[in-house]
Structures are given as structure tokens and as C-alpha cells.
Chains A and B, each alone.
Chain A
Amino acid sequence: MADEPKAPQSPESPKPDSAGATSAPPAAPASAEAAPSPAVKPAAPARPAPPPPKPPVLMQIPLDNDLTKRYREQFGAAILDAVEDRKQPYLVIAAAQLAEIAQYSRDVEKFDLLEDYTAVDWPRREKRFDLIAILYSFPHNMRLRLKIPLADGETAASLVEIWPTANWLEREIFDMFGISFNGHPDMKRILLPEEWQGHPLRKDYDILQQDTAWVRENLGIESGQ
């Protein structure tokens, strides 16, 4: 079973081999999934991965439960995709409808807690950022993730009116990724100094990079010390 996917990657370094060998029994599909990836950086993992040849368990499966049906009824084309990854549902939605969908989620579907709000950077994609809103419903004891693809330079609607906790969360997204939110009362950096140039969590910001001008001016040292 493990032989078939091994063949195309035999010229590869022995590491994937040992990974497959040691973790064979419970993680056979894992190694099968992992096999092609060292060779090429995934271009679009937001889409559910194509089903591997013989896996007993799928990581991501398309989602079509009552909740998804209700959202699709309400918003139609704005719901771009619905997936369940490792038993956690998420909906991919269009950025234009973010405010309405958020309002609907809070008021009708009773997702009263915005547990987390963050972003992921996929630089090779056309819509490079993925805004991730993790919602939790106290009455239903259920979580839902909303993924909103955004292009570089595109702004999103602010969720502060709907969930006031989004205030600092959106400021942090702005600080780290450079995504601006319309309607935010206080759109400025939160963790980094206000004059800092650059948005560190973008993939093109190297880990050793710093705003050397700011560091030199304010700390009086050469960056990198």
C-alpha cells in the first residue's frame, strides 16, 4: 500500500521514506498526502485536496449540512465554498458580503462570540490573503470558521459594530498583514510601534528583516544586533 506513492519520489531524499516507514500504520494516508508536497509548495491548499488513491480517512471533505444549506439559501453565490477539515466546518465567503454574513451569523445563527480573527498569507494566489473568523455559539456549543479571500490592497468591512471584540483583533491584522478595515474606529498598529514600516506576517517579509530606519532612530543601534 505504501509502495505505490513511494515510486514517483524515490529520487527524493530519504526523509519522506523514513516518515512513511515509521508512521505507517495510523498515518498511512498522511504519508500518502505528504509525499507530493516536499517537491512542490502547494499552490492552492484552500481548495479541498484531491482525494488520494486509497485513503481510509479524508482530511477535507465537502460540507453540506443544514447550516450550510441555510447560509446558501440566504446568501447564494456569496458562499464560495463549504468544507469540513478534520471535522471542523468552514465556509469560504466573498469579501463583499462579509458584513451581512457576519450580522446574519450573530443574529440568526446565534454565533455570539467572535473567538478569533486572523489572516493567512498565500502569496502565490491571486487573492493573497485569507481572513479567518472563528465564531462560537454558546447556545449551540458549536464553532464555525469563515474564510474570506482578499486581494492585496483590498479592504474589508470592519466587524466592530457586530462583535466589539474585533476592535483589537482587526488592528492586529492590520499591523501584521496590512489589511485595512472600513469603519474601524481606530485603525492603527497595535503591537508594533506606530512608525514601523512593513507588515511582518506577510510571507515576503523575511524573518530577520526589521525596519532598520526605525530601529536606528529610536533605539540607537544597528538593526540585527
Chain B
Amino acid sequence: MHPNLHALLVFLQTWWVELVSAVVIVAVVPLITGYLVLMERKLMADMQARLGPMRVGPHGLLQPIADAVKLLIKEDIIPDNADKFVFWLAPVVSMTAALTSMGAIAFGPSFEVARDINVGLLFVIGVSSLGLFGIVLGGWASNSHYSIMGALRSTAQLVSYETAAGLALVSGLLLAGTLKIRAIVEAQQHFGVWFVFLAPVAFFIYVVASIAETNRAPFDLPEAESELVAGYMTEYSGFRWACYFLGEYANMIVVGAVATTLFLGGWLRPFPNVHWMNWLDALPALFTAAVGAYCVYRAGKQPARVQTWFMWGVALACFAVALILAVPLVVAPLKFMVPGLHGAFWFLLKISAYIYLFMWLRFTLPRYRFDQLMHLGWYILIPLAIMNVLGVGVAMILEMEYGWNRWLALVVTTAFTLAAALFLLRLNDKRVAAASSAAPPEAPSTEDSYAG
């Protein structure tokens, strides 16, 4: 055989899993992200007393397809003095970083996407933070005031909150003892409890920091429409903008996956080791069946016949999934599938809850001003995260060296950390009160301030 052909075959044999998963990610994730956008719009509408997209497809379900087609056929506008290569490169970098980091995430005990590398978590965090380059380059290449200001703000925000997020993750990693994703979840199974109950402060910090990481409200000043039009994305239109947008939503999924893995027990069900809670294993099937039953109930109330049929179709799909989830529980030879299938279900449920929380916060809270945002990151979250790391470390030492009960140790240190947090907030309030009693700095008074 030709040596090059042989080399190629060996390459494919070693790496075929990764290659296939790469193709799957690039093919599937944009679709998922598109539907995530639709979900957000529907949720937003629900919380705002309206309906959301309803026209394109039944209940607006083909809206993402329509949006994608529209964005693809849009005219490609490049600003006059923009740096063309960098202008092209920036959204690509952003999206690539987000999609690549998905490769190391594991959705189930045997479902890692590409490969379960031994520095899995570090890989995910590190690669997803490369998306920052996409933002800076995009803002710079657009050759516009608004874009540069937005890009700089966004960069500063991301860097600050990544520090906090990383420190929060360190506390979780101290408990897990490893960076390998599957091993982290197995550690939670071994402990018998999700890490969120052992290190709640770390989870909270990570939630807040990850909202800032993904430029979501209330930390979405860089993209605030009402202030800088769209910040670094102002000059991007059509598919380039779609890349940025998809990168942002893919980041949301990644961040949700990391939080789920490290804090929410990954693919474990609640109370994974408690035997008398084994009835919880029935929950996935029951939940899906309940959704199907609700669809059947609503099918009767649809105004149009095609909508009724559609609801029936959805109901049947739900029942099919419920069946798939239920059968391995009952049929003995298929029991080996339970951890995988149910694990995937629990994992997806947790990510969905996490992302739902993101969306819920977006619709409820106003936006932080940039200086308040930076203050929150540097003055409150990072000190708190550092103290939390210390706390968890001390708790582990107490447990390992001094034989304390793990729970007792963690409760004590969490109490101390929370006390420290309250102290920080009190300090912050005092600082804010002092700053506000000194009125905003007066501009040099040579100018007549009443001149129109």
C-alpha cells in the first residue's frame, strides 16, 4: 500500500471518533442554538404577557430556520475602512472557540462528545475563553467608535469575571480532586451528594460570573442596544452576525455544562446513592409522559386543525421518548442502558434549568452600568471566591487530617465565608454611600453649563 495512504488510514483509525464528533458538533450545535434562541423568545414573550413567534411554522417552531435562511441570503456589508481579513476572522474565532470547547464535555457516563481528556475541565474553560479574541478583533476591525468602545468594555468584563469563575471552579475542583470530567461526576457519585450542597457559595459565584462571561443581562452592557447600538457587533450583518450570536449561545450551553458537571452532579439523579430513593429513576419517563399528556390535553383546544395534528404529533414523540426511557428499567437485559440514557436526560434537564435561569434573569433585571459591573467583579466576587477557596481547602484539611465529619467541616467554613461575604457587602454599601454623598465630579467650571 502506498505509505501516505497507509498513514492516512492509521490517522483515521485513531481519530475517527473525534472527527465524527467535530462534524456532529458543527452540524448539530448551530441547530440547537437556533432553537435555544426560539426558546428564549417564547419564554420572554410568556413573561411579558404575549405570545412570541407564532407565524412561521406551528407555534413559531420553524422560526430559527427562517432566521437562518434570511441571515444567509443577506447582503454582506463590510465597512469602508475596515481591515478585511480581521473583519472576516473575528466571528470565526468566536464561534470556533465556543464549538471546540464543547468537544470535551461529557453528557453521560459514556457519552463524551469527542474525548474525555484528563484535563477536561481546564480545556473547556480555556478554549471557551479564547472567544475573547473574536470580540476584540471584531471591535477593532469594524473601524467605528461604537464598536471599539463595546469591544473594550466586553473584554474587560470577560477577563474580570473569568477570574472569579475560575476561582469558583477551583473550590469545586478541590472537592473533586481531578480535572477529568467523568471523574468529577464519579466523585460526586462517590460522595453521594452533588457538590452544590457541599460548596454552595462557589456555585453562586459561578452562576453570577458565568452570566457575565456570556454577556447576558444584567451584564450585557457591551451589547446594550439602547446605549451603543450593538457594541462590537454594530457593523456585522448577515451571517457574520449570526456567527457571533451562535457563539454567544453556544457559550451559554458550555457554561451550563461546566456548572452541571462540577456542581449539579452531571448525569446523576438527585440522591444518587440513596437506595430508597430509587423510585426517582422513574422520573424521566414519568416527566416525559406527563409532557405528552399535557400535549394531548391541549390538542383538543387548538383553534386550527393543523395545530391539533401538530400537538398530537408532539404528544406521540413525547410518549415514544418516555417509552425509550422506561423500557430499560423494566426489561432486565436492557438494564445496562439505564445510566447512559437516564444520565443524558438528567444532564440535559439540568442544563436546561440553568439556561432557563439565565433567561429568566435577563427578562427581569435591568442592566448594570459598566463601572458598577467592574466593581461587582473585582470588589465583591473575586475576594469572595478567594475566601471560598480558602474555606473549602480548610474544610478538606479538617476532614482529612483531623478527622472531622465532612459535612460539619464544610458547614463551618461556609458559614465563615458567608460572614465574610456580608462583611464585604457592608463595606461596599459604605463605599457607595460615601461616593454618592460626594456628588458626581463636577466638570471644570469654565464652561457655562446653561449654554444649550
* A contacts, CB < 8 Å to B: 160, 164, 167-168, 171, 185-186, 190
Contacts and interface: CB of A to CB of B under 8 A. Distances in A.
Given A160-B450, A168-B452, 11 more contacts: A164-B450, A167-B450, A167-B451, A167-B452, A171-B452, A185-B448, A185-B450, A185-B451, A186-B451, A186-B452, A190-B452
B431 to A, nearest CB: 34
Contacts, number: 13
Contacts of B450: 160, 164, 167, 185
Interface of chain B, helix or strand or loop or mixed? loop
Nearest to A188: B452
A160 B449 CA distance: 12
Interface of chain A, helix or strand or loop or mixed? loop
Contacts of B451: 167, 185-186
12 contacts: A160-B450, A164-B450, A167-B450, A167-B451, A167-B452, A168-B452, A171-B452, A185-B450, A185-B451, A186-B451, A186-B452, A190-B452
Nearest to A186: B451
Nearest to A185: B451
A167 B448 CA distance: 11
Contacts of A185: 448, 450-451
A164 to B, nearest CB: 4
A167 B449 CA distance: 11
A196 B393 CA distance: 74
Nearest to B449: A164
A21 B448 CA distance: 59
Interface in B404-452: 448, 450-452
A168 B451 CA distance: 9
Nearest to B450: A164
Nearest to A163: B450
In this complex, which of B448, B450, B451, B452 has the most chain A Cβ atoms within 10 angstroms of its Cβ? B450
A8 B452 CA distance: 54
Contacts of A186: 451-452
Contacts of B452: 167-168, 171, 186, 190
A171 B451 CA distance: 11
A185 B451 CA distance: 7
Contacts of A160: 450
Contacts of B448: 185
A126 B9 CA distance: 104
A149 B448 CA distance: 30
A104 to B, nearest CB: 22
Contacts of A190: 452
B153 to A, nearest CB: 33
B449 to A, nearest CB: 9
A168 B450 CA distance: 9
A173 to B, nearest CB: 14
B81 to A, nearest CB: 26
A160 B450 CA distance: 9
A209 B448 CA distance: 36
A62 B452 CA distance: 39
Contacts of A171: 452
Nearest to A164: B450
Nearest to B448: A185
A180 B450 CA distance: 18
B245 to A, nearest CB: 37
A225 B111 CA distance: 69
A83 B451 CA distance: 35
Interface string B343-384: 000000000000000000000000000000000000000000
